Amino acid sequence: MKRLGWLGWLVALIAIATVLSGAVQVVCPAFVLGIIGSEAGAAARHFFGIVGMFMMLFGGLALHGVFAHSAPALLWSGLQKVGAVAAVVLGIRHGVFSVIALGVAGFDLISAALILLYWKRVARGAD
């Protein structure tokens, strides 16, 4: 088994945080919507819960990618984070979320950069 190194462990922590935050979003979408300054109607709760499910899945994929040293899993997990940044920024721009959601976008942007950096290392066989 290969050693992960500090970046691999950091990506694993990001993956775990993604799974856990996605789970909270699935179970309590109104709570999370309230934090990011959005309305919490039935449709919003429903679709936000679906987003949480995909967060759980992609967080699990990233975690699998770290421990299996799977470049494709890491690439797709990193791209999901890039998509999440774009979705949150568009949501803020369209008035769906308040500017408080920039914190979420910032975390996802940093996460995307770290995951894609780790993907590059794994793809080169450097880690």
- 14-67 pLDDT per residue, tens: 999 999 999 999 999 999 999 998 999 999 999 999 999 999 999 999 999 999
pLDDT exceeds cutoff 90 at 3: no
For residue 62, the model assigns a pLDDT of 98
Closest CA to 14 of 49, 69, 66, 54: 66
pLDDT tens, residue by residue, 95-113: 999 999 999 999 999 999 9
For residue 127, the model assigns a pLDDT of 67
What are the domain boundaries of the chain?
5-124
Entry pTM: 0.93
